[in-house]
Amino acid sequence: MINLHCNSNASSSLAYVGSRVSVNFKPVNFRTLTSDRRSGCVNLKCQVASGSDSRSVSNSSSLSAFELLKTSAAERYTKEKSGLMVIGLSFHTAPVEIREKLSIPEADLPKAITELCALNHIEEAAVLSTCNRMEIYAVALSQHRGVKEITEWMSKVSGVPISEIRQHQFLLYEREATKHLFEVSSGLDSLILGEGQILSQVKHVVKVGQGVPGFDRKISGLFKHAITVGKRVRTETQISSGSVSVSSAAVELAQMKLPEHSLASVNVLVVGAGKMGNLVIKHLISKGCKKITVVNRTEEKVSKICEEYKNVDIIYRPLSDLTSYASDSDVVFTCTASETLLFTKSQVRGFPFSQRLFIDISVPRNVESCVSDVEGTRVYNVDDLKEVVEANKRERFRKVVEARSIILEEVKEFESWKDSLETVSTIKKLRAYGERIRASEMEKCIEKMGGELTKKNQKAIHDLSKGIVNKILHGPMQHLRCDENEGRDLDDILENMEALNRVFGLEMEVSVLEEKIRSKMGKIQG
């Protein structure tokens, strides 16, 4: 990054094309020039100097400033703002009308990754597309250019104008992007706190991405670590326990009110096989219920439920048999869209005496409130269930603090792993450098000694040379690895890497990044 601070009326212009920098200054004298090479930032401070000051500055200083401008161009372009990022929209930031237009069908996910990685400044990518979010995770050679290219791509494939996408999108970089995905996989960013479906969706991203060019080491590692975090949070905090939906709360309440707190040995009737009825059946099965009678207008929906739960005895009965089957049931769940009452006080009074629960989760209500006046009968409606739901929600929110602590710990671990990748190429090049010297010098040694060496002696010399090189390289290698116990952080590691590259004449990482950009541009133009 280059900062020019000019305290004069003298005009200047700077043009940058590719890796070439062109600087045109009208006559001005330099009084101060400062440079911070460690941070990759060059600061040129230009001030109009007095006559005596101007004479004290030599031509070599001006040339030095110009050279600094030129040599910093590649670093300014590639290194300063490259890295991991997430660009997305979720139920927090965008209405469903926008999210549904941007969603990517499951079959198109590999194609989406390929198209994203074909963009000039995107190296790796993954897409997390659900009903509540559409998020693109990417490793970009240049963050601001990457954001621009991905936003344009989103607009192109969805038909949503760029201005509208920008109005609803969020952007997170590096550590914050990592933290966000870990919170998503843990259910902390879900509409229902702690829900488990999102973890399955994160797993699916990894499954779909396997073998797709662009779903590479950093992005793949990020999502695999997110799965580990999601599992750990749920295991250690039990954040998914406790009903936070009406259907699950209805089943939980029924279980609480039964004498033996068991649904396995009672007669259960579910009235209605729509979405809510289906969810009630699902939660009943999860609580150990093995036999369920379902009353519905038609058999079709019940048949589909039976196919899904083949190990459970689910019996269909028509609506005309409602009264007779309700009279024989211990627990009755009503979840229909009927606008008229299905059970009245006078009707239930005619049932055989029994301890009976009516759990009415319909709106409007299907069970007359005064049914609870019938001896042995208790009625619970949606308002009663809200207390259960809210209590469980409060408990889940208490667990969020613990979950966030785990996530911060895991973010730190992932970032250390990701940071270590920065030095991999330097380590490989340093080893190769040592090996070239070792092999060359050993060959010269053997030639000088003629054919007098036995295979045993040759092996001894080989092992000796290997041992010397390994011991010499051990120290530099250690200083390229993050080790908090020895007080080395990422800044120290990168500084050591730059020093080793310079001392041993190894290829600088910035040059590698520049080459990646040139390669991408070549493919696009080709």
Q: Which residues are catalytic?
A: 131
Could you identify the residue written with the tokens 């979840």?
335
How many other β-carbons are positioned within 10 Å of the β-carbon of residue 66? Answer: 14
Strands 122-129 and 331-334, by their bridges, are unpaired
Q: By the 8 A CB rule, do 267 and 330 touch?
A: yes
The tokens for 300 are: 């079709």
The whole-angstrom distance between residue 155's C-alpha and the CA centroid of its chain comes to: 22
The C-alpha atoms of residue 214 and residue 222 are separated, in whole angstroms, by 13
Distances in whole angstroms, Cα of residue 522 to Cα of each of 212, 234, 472, 488, 505: 21, 47, 40, 39, 27
Q: Give the integer Cα–Cα distance in Å for 479 and 467.
A: 19
Structure token digits, residue 121: 């400044």
The answer to whether 270 and 302 are in contact (CB under 8 A) is no
In the chain, count H helices and then E strands.
20, 15
Q: Any idea what DSSP says for residue 483?
A: B
Question: Residues 377, 381, 385, 386: is their CA dihedral positive or negative?
Answer: negative
Task: Answer for the pair 349, 375: CB distance below 8 angstroms, yes or no.
Answer: no
Report the alpha-carbon distance of residue 79 to residue 490 in Å, rounded.
Answer: 15
Q: What DSSP letter does each residue of 50-66 carry, written as one string?
A: PHHHHHTS-HHHHHHHH
Would you state the torsion angle of the CA atoms of residues 503, 509, 512, 514, taken in this order, to the nearest 10 degrees?
-110
Tokens standing for residue 298 = 């038609």
